[in-house]
Chains A and B, each alone.
Chain A
Amino acid sequence: MASILLPSGTVEGREGLDAYRTRGGYVALDTALKSLSPEAVIEVIEASGLRGRGGAGFPTGKKLALTRECPEKPHYVVMNGGEDEPGSKKDRVLMENVPHLIIEGVILAAYAVQAEKAYLYINGHYDTATTSMDEALAESKAAGYWGENVLGSSFSVELVTVAAPSNYVAGEDTAALEVIEGKEPLPRQKPPFPVTEGLFAKPSLVNNVETLANIAPILAKGAEWYRSFGTAESPGTMIFSLGEDVNRPGIYELAFGTPLRHLIEECGGGVKGGKKLKAILPGGPSSAFLKPEQLDVPLDHNSVRAAGSSIGCGVIKVFTEDDSVFDETLRIAEFFAQESCGQCAACRMETNMLVTLLKKFQQGEGNEALMEQFGKVLAFNQGKGFCSLINMPGPPIESAIRLFPEEFLASGE
């Protein structure tokens, strides 16, 4: 198992400052402040090919450069630890166990974009993770890693935590900015993007917890070392979350490009009860279903996309012969209808209409003509919302119809 973020072996509780320093922690920060310009830090991240781990996979180096280039001041960094994706627990585990790894990444990112303040936005239900981050913040401040004149340099940065509401859209990057500004968690219309007009309308770098956790290892060991993991377009590792549907649920850090089969069979110990696999959702509820024949797909952005789905933030769910893909599709549609924040009319209409359509099938009133309506409703509303929630029910619903049409027509029987 490739390991960049999670120390080999089992992590038991929060890794303290001494333990983190014993394995080389904060050396990258010290080195960067003494010998690297902010531009040079960004160059290393760009060369590493690091991509965002929050779901979209945007190149992190590019995001850093875009934020840094904005003449408007001050700049801000936001660590997005909202983690509201159902089944995702990677950010929680990282915050609980290796808070200093994340904090060092946040400080390095702040240095790279010359931010004077970084907000650590943490899911409000994550009590242990919040305590872990708070304690690590106190330790790192006392050691001079953040605050006025970090490690004797001219760079100063303040780190503060903000509790995130635990509804789905609160994890959307601009909704996070709204919450930090003291407002309701409602996504903003984009553009403008946060890199130019983010927190308090200033240039802001918003990155997922796992993304930021990669920054210190990259600077400590170099872009070339980082690229020795994963694939050319998806370098490094990703933390995948497996649920109760496999024999060994949990989170697994794997190099990008590892076959899905390895994750499910070797890491997860196979499907629970030795049942026959029927379908896989490789990237959370907004990804498209895959069939068992696609089990050898390499887990990286391009390969999973070529297979017709997406890797999202690495939440993988499997379905057996005993499970109904139709029922799961309805649950997903109901989830998005419930989590739609309601500010965009098209999203309200679309998410509700999809549930209504699926319920017709559930009640045994489905037919071919009704099946064709899903695509029309989805196409009509595509991209009509402020955030991407409006596009999320599409892949699971359309793939379920394409791969398991018989379940739709039989669902009401």
Chain B
Amino acid sequence: MFRRVWEKWKNEAVASRRKQQSSHSDQQASNKTPLSESLQENLDIIKQRLGNPQDLIIRPFLIDNSGRACAVACIDGLVDSELVHDKVVKHIQLLMSPAGKAIPAPDEDIMAFMLNEVLSIIEVKTGTTMEEVLDAMLVGDTAFFVDGSHTTILIDSRGWETRGIEEPVSEGLVRGPRDGFNENIRDNTVRIRRRVRDPKLRFDATTVGRRSKTDLIVAYIEDIAHPNIVNEIKRRISTIDIDQVEESGYIEQWIEDNFLSPFPQVQNTERPDKVASALFQGRVAIILDGTPMVLLAPVTLGIMLHSPEDFYERWMVGSLARVLRYLASYLAVFSPALYIALVTFHPGLIPSDLAFSIAATRDGVPFPAAVESLIMVTTMELLQEAGLRLPKPIGQTVGIVGGLVIGEAAVSAGIVSPVMVIVVAITAIASFAIPSYNLAIAFRMIRFGAMLAAAMFGLYGVVLAFILIVIHLTNLTSIGVPYLAPLAPQLVSDWKDYILRAPITFFKKRPDMLQTKDKTRMKAGRSQ
């Protein structure tokens, strides 16, 4: 029902937004200011529109010795000033036309002459309205005006300080490439191009955010990715209408299938190798300027539990690591719940000796097992959150102080039993073993629900909670791809890259669940 209400609401919102948008663009069309013929007037408008900020550079000068006035305008810091100086100002002041032609007298020709003869820069375009000029300048272009001409040349001179290419912090690997994405979209597309030298690689660019006008690129390999998936993602991105987009999380939350689900339906990564392999699988990457986090969609629960290392190590290692991770996800969700259920409702299920020793350690603990677990699990969450916010060295101290000292003290003070501490420790470690941070958070949330169910109904409650989660997961989709694929629906051919990872030579086909256009990965497999 929620979904229906949500869809209805969303449709209305989209419809009204479309109306607004169309009226907005009409307004814009009518409001566009054409450039004036007077150089001074143009420069004045720029100053006035931008509020004459301190970082606005306007440099008027004369073309060679003809006495014609011209000017460049740009934003300091966004442009590569060396390039502007060497290739624009210097060339025009000295008019280093290799052909040695004279400066044309008529107004219209001077711009063509500049473009064709003088400016030795690859990316240039012409503009005729003030809005175009301002948009381009705010991106890092340099506008070149000549007195008496009502067109301008917009020179791509983007160049600003960026963070270098560093190892991804959130997704460390023992084996694998060390480079990660950074905040510059161009650097990020380069990292992908370097790995995917396929002419069919597509970077479809658009901007999102009405005011922030952030660059966004949808990347996919045209003859692999299913067109339905690509088109659906583009359609959803086209509905985005907010004033500013800070991080790819905005995009993720806007395009996800079900906003009520605790599970992430879009994957994020700062590893270029992960993106490249996703593209080859037939998935789509969404790259946003200003963040190293690249989105990958569609995603399934299985993919979220995979790590690129599974494929870099030999298949047995990869398979075992995966089995371990699936086990870890069960432990992360259900171990406190199982503790509550067993201790409170079914002590008979535990072997007698163990049951006695647990009972002995719980002797003197004033709370029921459910409250005890709640206290400890909440403390664990607190520690995790606190450790995250603090600088690295202090964060580790918090971990030690919190984990060891509080745990030990709580036990000796008789507030919790030692077995509880073990259970909480196992839970925490298990949730750290999950490769996707956002999936681990989902598990942490569900853990509390499972604990509640166990506190009410014991094992019965745990099973009901499990069934509930599985119902939710079978209904969930990510860009139309079932979240539990290839388990439900069963796609047996995809099972070789699921809980176990088959030897690399067995992967003759791309994943069936993504319905790729080009299905073949290798012609013959192992040839010996």
Q: A and B bound?
A: no
Which A residues contact B (CB, under 8 angstroms)?
Answer: none
Which B residues contact A (CB, under 8 angstroms)?
Answer: none
